[in-house]
Chains A and B, each alone.
Chain A
Amino acid sequence: MIEIDIRHEFPGFALDARFTVARPGITALFGPSGAGKSTLVNAIAGTLRPREGFIAVDGRVLVDTASGTFVPPRARRMGMVFQDARLFPHMSVENNLRFGWRRAAAKAGADEFARVLDLLGLQSLLARRPARLSGGEKSRVALGRALLSSPRLLLLDEPLAALDAARKAEILPWLERLRDEARLPMIYVTHALEEAMRLADHLILLRDGRVTAQGAAFDLLSDLEFAHAMRAPAPGAVFAATVKEKRAGGLTALAFDGGEVIVGRLAAPVGAKLRVRLRAEDVMLALEEPRAISANNLLAATVTAVDAHDSEADVQLAVGGVKLVARITRGSLERLAIAEGTRLYAIVKSVTVDSAIGGHPG
Chain B
Amino acid sequence: MTLSPEEIEALLLSLKVSLTAVTCALPFALAAALLLARRNFPGKPLIDGALHLPLVLPPVVMGYLLLILLGTRAALGGWLLAHLGVRFVFSWTGAALASAIITFPFQLRAIRLAIEAIDGGLGEAAETLGAGAFDRLVNLTMPLALPGIVAGLITAFAASLGEFGAIITFVSNIPGETRTLPLAIYSAIQSPGGEAEAARLSVLSIVLALLGVTLAELANRRLKAAIGR
| A positions within 8 Å CB-CB of B | 45-47, 72-80, 82, 84, 86, 88-90, 99-100, 103-104, 129-132, 145-146, 149
- B119 to chain A: closest residue by CB: A86
Number of B residues contacting the other chain (C-beta, 8 Å)?
A: 20
Residue in contact with A88 in the complex, picked from B124, B127, B130, B140, CB distance below 8 Å: B140
Within 8 A of A (CB), among B71-119: 119
Chain B residues positioned under 8 Å from A73 (CB to CB): 124, 127-128
Chain A residues positioned under 8 Å from B119 (CB to CB): 86
Chain B residues positioned under 8 Å from A78 (CB to CB): 128
- B223 to chain A: closest residue by CB: A90
| B positions within 8 Å CB-CB of A | 119, 121-122, 124-132, 135, 140, 143-144, 226-229
B121→A90 contact, CB < 8 A = no
Known: A86-B121, A89-B228. A46 touches B128 (CB 8 A): yes
Q: Compute how far the CA of A100 lies from the CA of B126 in the bound complex, rounded to whole angstroms.
A: 8
A46→B127 contact, CB < 8 A = yes
Residue in contact with B128 in the complex, picked from A76, A84, A131, CB distance below 8 Å: A76
Chain B residues positioned under 8 Å from A103 (CB to CB): 129-131, 135
B127→A86 contact, CB < 8 A = no
Residue in contact with A74 in the complex, picked from B121, B131, B227, CB distance below 8 Å: B131
Residue in contact with A99 in the complex, picked from B124, B129, B226, B229, CB distance below 8 Å: B129
A84→B130 contact, CB < 8 A = no
A74→B130 contact, CB < 8 A = yes
Q: Compute how far the CA of A77 lies from the CA of B228 in the bound complex, rounded to whole angstroms.
A: 28
Q: A47-B124, A89-B122 are in contact. List 18 more A-B contacts (CB 8 A).
A: A45-B128, A73-B127, A74-B128, A77-B130, A86-B119, A86-B121, A86-B124, A86-B125, A88-B125, A89-B228, A90-B227, A90-B228, A99-B129, A103-B129, A130-B228, A131-B228, A132-B228, A145-B129
Residue in contact with B144 in the complex, picked from A84, A90, A100, CB distance below 8 Å: A90
Q: Compute how far the CA of A185 lies from the CA of B226 in the bound complex, rounded to whole angstroms.
A: 37
Chain B residues positioned under 8 Å from A131 (CB to CB): 228-229
A100→B127 contact, CB < 8 A = no
B131→A89 contact, CB < 8 A = no
Chain A residues positioned under 8 Å from B127 (CB to CB): 46-47, 72-74
Q: Compute how far the CA of A324 lies from the CA of B124 in the bound complex, rounded to whole angstroms.
A: 43
A100→B227 contact, CB < 8 A = no
Shortest distance in angstroms between A337's beta carbon and chain B's nearest beta carbon?
57
B121→A82 contact, CB < 8 A = yes
Shortest distance in angstroms between B181's beta carbon and chain A's nearest beta carbon?
37
A82→B131 contact, CB < 8 A = no
Q: Compute how far the CA of A103 lies from the CA of B138 in the bound complex, rounded to whole angstroms.
A: 14
Chain B residues positioned under 8 Å from A82 (CB to CB): 121, 124-125
A90→B143 contact, CB < 8 A = yes
Q: Which 5 A-B pairs have the closest CB atoms?
A: A103-B130, A100-B129, A90-B227, A86-B125, A89-B228
Chain A residues positioned under 8 Å from B121 (CB to CB): 82, 84, 86
Q: Compute how far the CA of A133 lies from the CA of B158 in the bound complex, rounded to whole angstroms.
A: 38
